[in-house]
Structure 1
Amino acid sequence: MKRIIYLAIYALLAVYSCGNPSNEEKAKTLIKNYIDKHANDPESYEAVAFGSLDSMTSISMIGTGVEYANLQRDFDKSMDMEKRKSIMAQQQEILKDRQGFRITHKYRANNAFGAKILSEDVFYINARLDSVLTVRKVGE
């Protein structure tokens, strides 16, 4: 009886894990597609390592810090409770749009001169995992 239960659990896990790609798999596919589209020589691309997929909310992640800061300044100046509620709602919308993921990726690819170089970039991906928002070199 135990054997049947273990086999059933194993079968369910196998079916479930094959059905939908994980968030990390989606991110890796998205990164590979991004590199295929933007690299000097996409055919030379070799993945070396992927970091872990980190979820994040950052108003500076894609340059909306100024918009958010202006709303915060208006919030601090205002004494009207309705205006403050409106400002808070606008800030929440900004943050909602800026939720997403980041993952570090180390790879080799040919540069514009044809020399193979090792690169390590941080890819910022939206919350739906369907778009690369921005890419930065590690340490920037």
Structure 2
Amino acid sequence: MKKLFSLLALVMLFSCAKESPFEKSISEHVKTNFKDPASYEKISIEILDTVTVEKKIKVYESKGMTHEQFDNEPKDKFLYYTISHKYRANNSYGAKELYNDIVSMDKDYKITGSHAVEE
């Protein structure tokens, strides 16, 4: 019984530590693009939206812009994910700062864009 309980606890520990594809992509981005990746501390990674052709057309129309590039595309075609990424990391002076970014990812979880959220 004791062995079974220990095995169950071990399995739960490893299953909780598994990264989502979004987290894995961001972790790789941090390792290859940050000046001090060892200083990185994830606060949260949250999917905000799944953007489709239909949603993009609505945004264009609300801004009074044309959207001919989407006219021959199926309305439910996936374009990208938008993800909120909050974290702490050292800035170029070595001081720890709080960051809040919006990240875009394609269907293969490759980061296609990122911008800071101004508060």
Q: TM-score if structure 2 supplies the norm length?
A: 0.62
Task: Please list the CA deviations of residues 45-85 of structure 1 after superposition, one character each: whole Å capped at 9, or x if unmatched.
Answer: 1111122353113659xxxxxxx93736xxxxxxxxxxxxx
Q: Whose helix proportion is higher, 1 or 2?
A: 1
CA separation in 2, counterparts of 1:106 and 1:55? Answer: 19
Residues 83-122 of structure 1 correspond to what in structure 2 (within 5 A)? 88-89=71-72, 92=73, 96=77, 99-122=79-102
Residues 68-79 of structure 1 correspond to what in structure 2 (within 5 A)? 69=66, 71=68
Number of equivalences:
94
Report the counterpart of residue 37 of structure 2 in structure 1. Answer: 42
Q: Tell me the SS of whatever aligns to 1:36.
A: helix
State percent identity of aligned pairs.
Answer: 29
Q: CA RMSD in A?
A: 3.2
Instruction: Choose 1 or 2 for highest CA Rg.
Output: 1
Runs of 4+ in 1 over 3 A off after TM superposition: 68-72
Q: Unmatched 5+ residue regions in structure 2? A: 1-14, 58-64
Are 1:100 and 1:128, in contact at CA under 8 Å, matched by a contact in 2?
no
Q: TM-score if structure 1 supplies the norm length?
A: 0.54
Are 2:40 and 2:88, in contact at CA under 8 Å, matched by a contact in 1?
yes
